[in-house]
Structure 1
């Protein structure tokens, strides 16, 4: 099949240069405040009700090892995947997620957010009771 020729009168050298790819993704674009979950691959917004430093997925509760000593400091060098292993409650009744890093084994806690999956949180809270009553673990559960 013969190649089509351009009839617009502009050659390749006359065309407008292509925009760089960071036009939409850099500083203030539509993905500037999002991240992709390492567990379920969901696009997650970093703004969440109930927390100032979102770093876990509201669907599967998976996180990345990005924070060092302070929440939101993003100073950890590991960058490994962190799985939610437990739920803890503070004295004031606030729930915290306990994450363990798959790479270095470090434990960390995160505040739950208002849009976290209630089903995932309850499953995580009830995990210790599964073995106590002789129930079989869920498929894929550790």
Structure 2
């Protein structure tokens, strides 16, 4: 399937002319076409390729950027999104067919980029 993508710099959205079939949707950010229903069941809340979502509220309807992964007490991983227009936060479950590399990159980001110099951590551990 071929498609073209255009970009609206004011809203930071990308639009595609791909016509998804019934039960599918085209991601407004990366253009990937995916099933609205993941293999895990339920309804998909974000693109399985880039993990971006849409803020589906009457007053906003902007893109939601994936910013983190959370693991609540029930053990199910969730993607945390932030709206690019109103800064609202939301969470959606990680699905079995989500891009595992993107999910893991978000999960290890706090370890790879800590908010303090690693040398300070090594000094504190050595002092114990």
Residue correspondence of structure 1 range 41-52 to structure 2 within 5 A: 41-52=31-42
Please, what TM-score do these two structures have when normalized by structure 2?
A: 0.69
- Any idea what SS the aligned residue of 1:100 has? strand
Aligned partners of 1:99 and 1:109 also within 8 Å: yes
- The runs of at least 4 consecutive aligned structure 1 residues that moved more than 3 Å come to none
List gaps (5 residues or longer) in structure 2: 1-18, 119-128
2:75 corresponding residue in structure 1: 93
Shift of 1:46: 0.2
Question: Take 1:123 and 1:90, find their aligned partners in 2: how far apart are those partners?
Answer: 18
Greater Rg over alpha carbons, structure: 1
- Conserved 8 A contact 1:34-1:46: yes
Equivalent pairs, count: 98
Once residues 129 and 81 of structure 1 are traced to their aligned partners in structure 2, the CA distance between those partners, rounded to angstroms, is: 27
Matches within 5 A, 1:2-21: none
Q: 1:114 aligns with which of 86, 96, 103?
A: 96
- Distance 1:36-1:93 versus aligned 2 partners, 3 A rule: same
Aligned to 2:21: 31
Gaps of 5+ in 1: 1-24, 67-75, 136-142
How far did residue 115 of structure 1 move? 0.4
Superposed displacement of residue 36, structure 1: 1.1
